[in-house]
Amino acid sequence: MRELAALDNPRAAQAFADYMQTQGVACLLRKGETSVVIEVEEHSYDLALAELKSFVQNPTDEKYLSANWGRSKLGDDELAFHDRALLLLRDFVFHAGPFTLLIFALCCLVYILTISGFFRPVYESLQFFRYTSSFHSMEIWRFFSPSLLHFGVLHIVFNLLWWWQLGGLIEQNKSSAKLLLLFLAASIIPNTVQFFLEGPDFGGLSGVVYALAGYVWLTGIRNPQGGLSLPNPLMIFMVAWLVLGFFDVIGPPVANMVHFFGLAIGLAQAAWETRNRNITPVP
């Protein structure tokens, strides 16, 4: 095998490898220190190199996006079910980073425990402080642990899908440290405000999700080349959902202050990081 290239984006490397597979060229992906190395057989090197140049210029071309479907049509002998499951798992892991996956797993574990007969002990262990005097205790995890609590299937599914998408995007393009900072800031500050205004009975990752949405959206506008972006319609939907929460028309009670201050933190962080950049108009 001969090294063809090293790409910083694991998903891009996998997309290229999938497409080359449909062309009869086998690619081996090897994880380097900071990138994914693509290797091909010597006799396929020139063909793969030419295609790589085309891929780098237009990685969103339809032929690359539909590579997996093309493989099954062109006869990888109809990928078995377990192979498709492995592909989905690979894409799930490649999009995210270690901290994204850690919080995802913790939320799932906590939710499973709460629906398995352990709601009361789990809730009492992770909920925010019940009294301001408790702030002086050693249980400092209570400032952010309510973000791990969820109270229904739709609640946790909605939050984790956004967390995986936005958190993975930030961790892949920025760093795990940046995502950790946003998680802590968007948990501790909004949770504390919510407590003082409405009491300690709340939970969910949505405040963090709003922070990530605001951060990704504004960063994408002010620094389009940074690899982060969130379409305006999705951001409008998030803001509309936030506003509706204040009118109690979307079902169970919502921790509105958590959402509002989470969004404010994400926007403020993005504004601070891009303060020296010129804003690029959005068409």
Report yes or no: 52 and 4 within 8 Å, Cβ to Cβ: yes
Of the residues 44, 147, 187, 206, only one is catalytic, namely 206
Q: Is 259 one of the catalytic residues?
A: yes
Neighbouring CB atoms inside 10 A of 82's CB total: 8
Q: From the CA atom positions of the chain, what is the Rg in Å?
A: 22
- Distance of alpha carbon 137 from the chain centroid: 33
Of the residues 95, 150, 155, 259, only one is catalytic, namely 259
DSSP secondary structure of 80-145: -HHHHHHHHHHHHHHHS-HHHHHHHHHHHHHHHHIIIIIHHHHHHHHSPPSSGGGGGSS-GGGGTG
Of 229, 262, 246, 265, which is closest to residue 159 (Cα–Cα)? Answer: 262
Q: Is 72 one of the catalytic residues?
A: no
Q: Across the beta sheet with 27-31, what order do the strands follow?
A: 2-7, 36-40, 27-31
- Distance of alpha carbon 221 from the chain centroid: 18
- Catalytic annotation, residues: 206, 259
